[in-house]
Amino acid sequence: MAEPAVLLRLEKRNWYSLVPLVNSLESSGIEAEVVPSGSLIREIGGHISGKRRVIVCISFFTTQARSTSDLVGRIRTRYGRDVVLIAGGPHATGAPLDTLQMGFDYAVRGEGEIVLPQMIRSLAEGDRRFAAEDRVVEGIPLPNLDTFPPVSFGHHLYPPIEITRGCIFSCRYCSVPLVFDGRLRHRSVESVVSAGERLVRTGKRWDFRFISPNSLGYGSTGRRPREGSVEELLGALRDLEGRKRIFFATFPSEARPDFVTDRMVEIVSELADNRKISIGAQSGSDEVLRRIRRGHGVETVYRAVETILSRGLTPIVDFILGLPGEEEEDQRLTLAAMGRITEMGGEARVHHFIPLPGSELGAERPAPISPSVMSEVGRMSLKGIASGSFTEQMRLAREVVEWQDLSSSIETSSR
């Protein structure tokens, strides 16, 4: 029988995660196709009709659980068990049993670059190492991010460059420490520049952006910034001939306020092209910050805002409403902090808490938002004082809670 067809589902919200998997498979001699989600079922049929075994890999977030479950249902209805379905990503890591209930054959918990090629080789050869009773597969942390390039030239996948993986702060609402084993690893400057040299020669529109839980923590091994590492990285990219623009400490990787120093902001101001820096405050209540284990207080946020403004840049400060245990007074303190920051000259961005499986607060319900606070959020948005997808995230939070309730009831009834 021919080698199995390995298909990786390409979904706009998940495509960052495809690059390390594609590169790890290629380095193992496994050919994989990257297939847009809308074409996936048709592509599966084409390979099955050619008498090839099909292995489909799907990475997804908890907010995509319902739509992913629907997709799996359609695949099973049409092709039954002729397709091997492997799940990965944040939801499979935080809720592997729920993931298997959707109809997946395997759920990979954590990092997949090392274990996925092993699984596919084993499945192709009929090896029993990944048997039916071992359907939750533990990932293996990648020791060195330089092992695989940060982009895929063969598949024309050029996401923001992952420069840091893991986080030591363990904020209670966040699933990053679980997904990436909490270990801090940084991609070397040489690895970033090597990819950058090829990227600037592609002739396509390209801006350097980065993926990191805390971009200003690049090179750091603890709770203090290492300005020299950031300066070396940005300086090396700045020196590239034919370089494109550099955006650092902005979407899709904000920074912690306690890593904002005068020298760090000076480096970003001089070597990057963005005129805004995104930082995560998360709450205007010191009590809430303590409960969610942020590791800083509100005054730290104000100092960071002042430091950024002093260098002529604009801070964009993120806040979360609806954190479990939050009282109306806490929410009003957050609104007050947002107002103060905008008066100082910064910008505020408001989000709604979404419970993420695997995080300490993953099984908690969002705190209700009082009508008066909702009204004030709307007023601030209309006046341009606050931005963000608050209403959409509130809807997603409801969907996640409903999905968790449904999954729990199915699990209970199946016992």
Q: Looking at the structure, do residues 272 and 404 belong to the same domain, yes or no? A: yes
What would the pLDDT profile of 262-318 be if each residue is shown by its tens digit? 999 999 999 999 999 999 999 999 999 999 999 999 999 999 999 999 999 999 999
Question: What's the CA gap between 415 and 405, in Å, rounded?
Answer: 16
- 138 belongs to a structural domain: yes
Beta-strand ranges (E) seen in 274-345 are 276-282, 314-321
| Claim to verify: residue 390 and residue 254 sit in the same structural domain | yes
Asked if residue 169 and residue 286 are part of one domain, the reply reads yes
Picking from 111, 142, 173, the residue at the C-terminal end of a domain is: 142
Per-residue confidence (pLDDT) for residue 349, from 0 to 100 = 95
Same domain, 241 and 118: no
On whether residue 414 sits in a domain, the answer given is no
Inform me whether the pLDDT recorded for 174 exceeds 70.
Answer: yes
- Three-class secondary structure of residue 87 per DSSP: strand
- Alpha-carbon distance 188 to 185, whole Å? 9
- Say yes or no to pLDDT of 97 above 80: yes
| pLDDT band at residue 370 using 50, 70 and 90 as cut-offs | very high
**Is the same domain home to 162 and 136?**
no
pLDDT classification of 180: cutoffs 50, 70, 90: confident
Q: Which of 114, 142, 170 lies at the terminal end of a domain, its last residue?
A: 142
Domain co-membership, 82 together with 198: no
Q: Is 147 inside a domain boundary?
A: no
State yes or no: pLDDT of 386 exceeds 80.
yes
* Dihedral angle over CA of 221, 226, 230, 231, nearest 10: -150
Q: Please report the pLDDT score of residue 12 as a whole number.
A: 84
User: Hunting for tokens 């107002």 — which residue is that?
Assistant: 339
Q: Is residue 206 part of a domain?
A: yes
Q: Do 137 and 235 sit in the same domain of this protein? A: no
pLDDT in tens, 14-33: 888 889 999 999 999 999 99
If asked whether residues 214 and 130 sit together in one domain, one would say no
What is the model's pLDDT at position 271? 97
Residue 117 lies in a domain: yes
Domain boundary among 142, 175, 207: 142
The SS3 call for residue 208 is: strand
Residues 56, 195, single domain; the answer is no
Contact 19, 159 (CB under 8 A): yes
Domain count, the chain: 2
For residue 282, tell me if it sits in a domain. Answer: yes
Q: Are residues 310 and 166 in the same domain?
A: yes
Q: Summarize the confidence of residues 172-200 as an average pLDDT.
A: 88
- Please report the pLDDT score of residue 54 as a whole number: 93
- What's the CATH code of the domain at 240? 3.80.30.20
Please give the backbone phi and psi of residue 186, each rounded to the nearest 5 degrees, phi first: -120, 140
Give a yes or no: residue 180 inside a domain. yes
- pLDDT for position 65: 93
Which of 97-111, 204-218, 399-413 is the least confident region? 399-413
Residues 366/322, Cβ–Cβ less than 8 Å: yes
Do 194 and 289 sit in the same domain of this protein?
A: yes
Read off the CATH number of the domain in which 77 is found: 3.40.50.280
pLDDT at residue 200 tops 60: yes
Mean pLDDT, all residues of the chain: 91
Residue-number span of the structural domain to which 52 is assigned: 5-142
- Residues contacting residue 281 through CB under 8 Å, at least 6 positions apart: 257, 298, 301, 317, 318, 319, 337
pLDDT in tens, 216-265: 999 999 889 999 999 999 999 999 987 789 999 998 889 999 999 999 99
Residue 415 placed within a domain: no
- Residues 168-176: what's their mean pLDDT? 89
Residue 413 has pLDDT above 80, yes or no: no
Range 114-140 average pLDDT: 81
Predicted local distance difference test score (pLDDT) of residue 133 = 59
23 and 51 housed in the same domain: yes
- Rounded mean pLDDT of 178-194? 87
Predicted local distance difference test score (pLDDT) of residue 14: 82
The whole model's pTM is what? 0.91
What's the CA angle centered on 388, arms 337 and 367, to 5 degrees?
Answer: 65
Mean pLDDT over 377-406 rounds to: 89
Instruction: Note if the bond before 357 is cis, omega within 30 degrees.
Output: no
